[in-house]
Structure 1
Amino acid sequence: MRKLLGRPSGPVKLAVRRVAPFSVMTHNMALLVSPASYLGTDRDGTIAEIVARIRALAPDVVGLCEVFADGERTRIRNALRDLYPHFREGPDEDDLESDGGLLLLSRHPILAADAMIFHACDGWDCLANKGVIHIRIQPVSWPTPLDIFFSHMQDIETDNGVGTLYSQLTTMNNFIVARRDPAGSQIIMGDLNIPGENPQHRAQLYDRLRLVDCWILAGNQAASGHTLVIENNFYADPDDRPSSNHRLDYVLMRGGTRLVPILADIEVLKFQRNGRFISDHFGVHASFDKIALISYT
Structure 2
Amino acid sequence: MRKVQLALLALTVALPMGASRPQTLPPSPPPATPPPFTGELSVMTYNIHGAPWPVAWDRPAKLASIATTLRVLRREGRNPHIVVLQEAFTQEAQSVGRAAGYRYIADGPSADMAGAAIPGDAHLAPSSSDFWMKGEGIGKYVGSGLQILSDYPVMEVHRVAYPASACAGYDCLANKGALMAAIRLPGYPVPIDVVTTHLNSRHASKVSDGRSFRAFRLQIACLTDFIRKRHSPERTLIVAGDFNVGRVMARRTALLTDAGTRWLANGDVLRDAYGAADKARIVLSSDALFSRNRAKDWVFYAPGQATDMNLLKIDVPFGHAANGSMLSDHVGYTAIFRLSHRSPTVTSFARSKASAFADARA
Instruction: Say yes or no: TM over 0.5.
Output: yes
**1:44, distance to aligned residue in structure 2 (A):** 2.6
Give the structure 2 partner of residue 227 of structure 1. Answer: 291
The answer to whether the Cα contact below 8 Å between 2:156 and 2:182 also exists between their aligned partners in 1 is: yes
Give the structure 1 partner of residue 105 of structure 2. Answer: 87
Match of 2:82 among 61, 65, 75: 61
> Unpaired segments of 5 or more residues in structure 1?
1-17, 229-244
Give the structure 2 partner of residue 184 of structure 1. Answer: 235
The answer to whether the Cα contact below 8 Å between 1:122 and 1:164 also exists between their aligned partners in 2 is: yes
Give the structure 2 partner of residue 217 of structure 1. Answer: 276
The answer to whether structure 1 residue 142 and structure 2 residue 192 are counterparts is: no
> Unpaired segments of 5 or more residues in structure 2?
1-36, 114-138, 261-269, 282-287, 351-362
The answer to whether the Cα contact below 8 Å between 1:22 and 1:139 also exists between their aligned partners in 2 is: no
The answer to whether structure 1 residue 255 and structure 2 residue 282 are counterparts is: no
Match of 1:78 among 68, 86, 98: 98
The answer to whether the Cα contact below 8 Å between 1:145 and 1:181 also exists between their aligned partners in 2 is: no
Q: Output the CA distance in 2 between the equivalents of 1:288 and 1:140.
A: 15
Amino acid of the structure 2 residue aligned with 1:144: V
Give SS of 2:46's match. Answer: strand
Q: Output the CA distance in 2 between the equivalents of 1:270 and 1:155.
A: 22
Match of 2:330 among 267, 273, 281: 281
Q: Output the CA distance in 2 between the equivalents of 1:292 and 1:265.
A: 20
Q: Which string of whole-angstrom CA distances, capped at 9 and with x for unpartnered residues, describes residues 100-121 of structure 1?
A: 1122211111111111111200
Give SS of 1:45's match. Answer: helix
Q: Output the CA distance in 1 between the equivalents of 2:317 and 2:291.
A: 9
Give the structure 1 partner of residue 267 of structure 2. Answer: none
| Distance change (3 Å), C-alpha of 1:274 and 1:68 | farther
Q: How does 1:115-130 map to 2 (within 5 A)?
A: 115-119=159-163, 120-130=166-176
- Superposed CA RMSD in Å reads 2.6
Q: Output the CA distance in 2 between the equivalents of 1:74 and 1:225.
A: 28
Amino acid of the structure 1 residue aligned with 2:60: D
Give the structure 1 partner of residue 64 of structure 2. Answer: 48
Give SS of 1:133's match. Answer: strand
Give the structure 1 partner of residue 220 of structure 2. Answer: 169
Amino acid of the structure 2 residue aligned with 1:204: A
| Distance change (3 Å), C-alpha of 1:60 and 1:110 | same
Give SS of 1:72's match. Answer: helix
Higher helix share: 2
The answer to whether structure 1 residue 24 and structure 2 residue 40 are counterparts is: no
Give SS of 2:186's match. Answer: coil
Deviates more, 1:149-158 or 1:268-277: 268-277
The answer to whether structure 1 residue 114 and structure 2 residue 158 are counterparts is: yes
Give the structure 2 partner of residue 207 of structure 1. Answer: 257
| Distance change (3 Å), C-alpha of 1:194 and 1:269 | farther
Give the structure 2 partner of residue 4 of structure 1. Answer: none
Amino acid of the structure 2 residue aligned with 1:88: A
| Distance change (3 Å), C-alpha of 1:104 and 1:281 | same
The answer to whether the Cα contact below 8 Å between 1:20 and 1:140 also exists between their aligned partners in 2 is: no
**1:256, distance to aligned residue in structure 2 (A):** 1.5
Q: Output the CA distance in 2 between the equivalents of 1:32 and 1:209.
A: 28
Structure number with bigger Rg: 2
The answer to whether the Cα contact below 8 Å between 2:60 and 2:92 also exists between their aligned partners in 1 is: no
Higher strand share: 1
The answer to whether the Cα contact below 8 Å between 2:162 and 2:177 also exists between their aligned partners in 1 is: yes
Give the structure 2 partner of residue 238 of structure 1. Answer: none
Give SS of 2:294's match. Answer: coil
Amino acid of the structure 2 residue aligned with 1:37: V
Q: Output the CA distance in 2 between the equivalents of 1:73 and 1:156.
A: 24
Q: Output the CA distance in 2 between the equivalents of 1:205 and 1:267.
A: 24
Amino acid of the structure 1 residue aligned with 2:80: P
Give the structure 2 partner of residue 155 of structure 1. Answer: 201
Amino acid of the structure 1 residue aligned with 2:69: R
Amino acid of the structure 2 residue aligned with 1:155: S
Give SS of 1:169's match. Answer: helix
Amino acid of the structure 1 residue aligned with 2:45: T
> Percent same amino acid at aligned positions?
27
Give SS of 2:278's match. Answer: coil
Q: Output the CA distance in 2 between the equivalents of 1:37 and 1:19.
A: 42
Amino acid of the structure 2 residue aligned with 1:284: Y
Q: Output the CA distance in 1 between the equivalents of 2:217 and 2:193.
A: 22
| Distance change (3 Å), C-alpha of 1:163 and 1:267 | farther
Between Structure 1 and Structure 2, how many residues are aligned?
255
**1:265, distance to aligned residue in structure 2 (A):** 1.1
Q: Output the CA distance in 2 between the equivalents of 1:43 and 1:219.
A: 34
